[in-house]
Chains A and B, each alone.
Chain A
Amino acid sequence: MDNKRKYVIPGDVVTTGPFRPEQNVILEGDKIISTTIGISEIYDDSVKVITLTGKYIPKIDDLVIGKVNSHTSLSWELDINSCYVGFLPAQDVFGRDFSAHADELSSKLKTGDLVAARIANFDRTRDPLVTISDRDLGKIDSGDLVKISPSKVPRLIGKRGSMIQMIEMATNAAVTIGQNGWVVVSCETPEGLLKAKKAIEMVNDKAHVANLTDQIKEMLEIKDES
């Protein structure tokens, strides 16, 4: 696996041959060219590049953390740290019998509130439609917001959630990670909260380091004893 991974920048030829181009690569003749700065991975029949920069682009079914920007009489607008605003229709919160006359949107969500939401629909013609009618979704009442780069979210989660589980276990904090790079940390003890925040920021700064998991572990344990 390791010998197939390569650091690439836009325009670099990742490989040539009959591969299926996946994320962040284009096929040009028989060459597969990277379109971003990142790490290339070649599988049996496909090639992809894991990007290290860039803004969040909404994807259907992503969990995101949004901040209420404003509302009309029919919907809220959420800042989801993207180039598009999230669109949360009032029916989603009030139910089917929502009436624009009787219900006041600011009674449920006010400007500045944080919301855990899921991208329900998104295509290139319209702004992303988000929903909060699901388990674990909705308004976030407590916790601290940490902003990290959206391209580093997979690193924070780790392989099968290993990284985030380790942070949660060591600090007793509950961490909600939005795919858009916004993370909400809540913890009963202020020490745990600080430590979890520090660990998340460390992942953000050192995402490219190979033995990051060990470093984070060390950091979390040292603080334990002191």
Chain B
Amino acid sequence: MGGRDATMVLLDENGIRCDGRKVDETRRIMIRAGGLKNADGSAYIEFGDNKILVGVFGPRDVHPKHMSNTDTGILRVRYHMEPFSVGERKNPAPSRREIEISKVIKEALEPAVMLEKFPRTAVDVFIEVLQADGGTRCAALTAASVALADAGIPMRDMVAAVAAGKVADTVILDVNNEEDQAGQADMPIGYMPSLDKITLLQLDGVLTPEEYKKCVDVGVKGCKVVYELQKKALKDKYFGNGGD
């Protein structure tokens, strides 16, 4: 969207990408835990030019009541893009894409949160994308995980996410908007670093089995970088700068 250059070079001969990054480099990432007073937990993330705010409520009563589960708590996720988050006004009504991403993020968080401790309750996660620039689902998942920890929901592990992809026949880390539109493949990965488990894996594009393996490896490495930043955000909020 916007002024996309048709002749743009995605990867030059020195291995530098269209925005000046190396192939295995993420964009600038800033995560802040807390910030919303009325939510039980919240987080704000800037992932390159993505700006995303997440609020978490719960555990709380389930409404409508028939959705509640007597064995476990339920997780509800709403991913929403603001009308002003993209170049041309986006209709604020939930689109097919937003409904899908809500579901995907919910399923990526479910292995981490221990909702069986709160039967008959719901945990609501609201994700608002203020500014989008490719890879919002990964950034949103990363921030949602920080917000859940901030809300004090028991979790087996944090979930960190980043996309890997293929551009100009090369495997790259952290696909941006241009690379997503013009590249050959895009693979968002959600990963639990301490448990060494993948909770989200999608793939749009065609990869050979070797490239696929390399993509997963690169993505998991990227997730570990993101995880360190999640950790820092939470420690800054709760332990000040004294957090070891």
A190 at the interface (CB under 8 A from B): no
Question: How would residues 97 to 125 of chain B score, 1 for a CB under 8 Å from any chain A CB and 0 otherwise?
Answer: 00000000000000010100111110000
Q: How far is the CA of A37 from the CA of B41 in the complex (A)?
A: 12
- Asked if residues B40 and A55 are in contact (CB atoms below 8 Å), the reply is yes
- Asked if residues A51 and B152 are in contact (CB atoms below 8 Å), the reply is yes
Q: Which residues of B contact A (CB under 8 A)?
A: 40-41, 58-61, 70, 112, 114, 117-121, 149-158, 192-195, 231, 234-235, 238-240, 243-244
Q: Which one of A7, A13, A35, A83 contacts B155 once the chains associate, using CB atoms below 8 Å? A: A35
A112 at the interface (CB under 8 A from B): no
A46 at the interface (CB under 8 A from B): no
- Smallest CB separation, A202 vs chain B (Å): 16
A26 at the interface (CB under 8 A from B): yes
**Contacting residues, chain B, for A57 (C-beta < 8 A):** 117-118
A146 at the interface (CB under 8 A from B): no
| Nearest-CB residue, chain A, relative to B41 | A53
Q: Which one of A11, A26, A37, A124 contacts B238 once the chains associate, using CB atoms below 8 Å? A: A37
- Asked if residues B152 and A12 are in contact (CB atoms below 8 Å), the reply is no
**Contacting residues, chain A, for B58 (C-beta < 8 A):** 55, 83
- Asked if residues A10 and B119 are in contact (CB atoms below 8 Å), the reply is no
**Contacting residues, chain A, for B244 (C-beta < 8 A):** 6-7
- Asked if residues B149 and A28 are in contact (CB atoms below 8 Å), the reply is no
Residue among A9, A24, A26, A55 facing the most chain B CB atoms (10 A cut-off): A9
**Contacting residues, chain A, for B114 (C-beta < 8 A):** 26, 35
